[in-house]
Amino acid sequence: MGRHQGPTCRVVLDLCGVDWGGDREQATAKLLARPGVLEVEVDPDKRRAVIIHDAHYELPALWNWLVECKTSHEQERGNA
């Protein structure tokens, strides 16, 4: 897990509903760019990601960002 020392948590994220959820490289890059995300393992077939998250960062911020991604994707599909 690199050089991080301290409490972490393992989180499973459902990537259904985000356009990049089926692309391993893109999903990994987007998730690793989020504060607190230390490791990412993406299963593009199941559209699921398992992340290791620094427990000092708030998970609701990550969750809210993912919900915003899904909402904007749904709105784009509705306007098409």
Question: CATH no. for residue 53?
Answer: 3.30.70.100
Containing structural domain, residue 61: 8-79
Residue 79 has pLDDT above 70, yes or no: no
Residue 27 has pLDDT above 60, yes or no: yes
The tens digit of pLDDT for each residue in 29-65 reads: 999 999 999 999 999 999 999 999 999 998 899 999 9
Strand order in the sheet with 37-43: 8-14, 48-54, 37-43
The tens digit of pLDDT for each residue in 28-39 reads: 999 999 999 999
Structure token pair of residue 1: 């897990």
Which residues lie across from 39 on neighbouring strands?
52
Q: How far is CA 79 from the centre of its chain?
A: 25
Q: How many domains does the chain have?
A: 1
How many residues are present in the chain? 80
Residue 2 has pLDDT above 90, yes or no: no
For the chain, the C-alpha Rg in angstroms (whole number) is 13
Q: What confidence score (pLDDT) does residue 50 get?
A: 98
Residue 80 has pLDDT above 60, yes or no: no
- 12 belongs to a structural domain: yes
Q: What confidence score (pLDDT) does residue 73 get?
A: 65
User: What contacts 11, CB < 8 A, 6 or more positions away?
Assistant: 50, 51, 52, 53, 59, 62
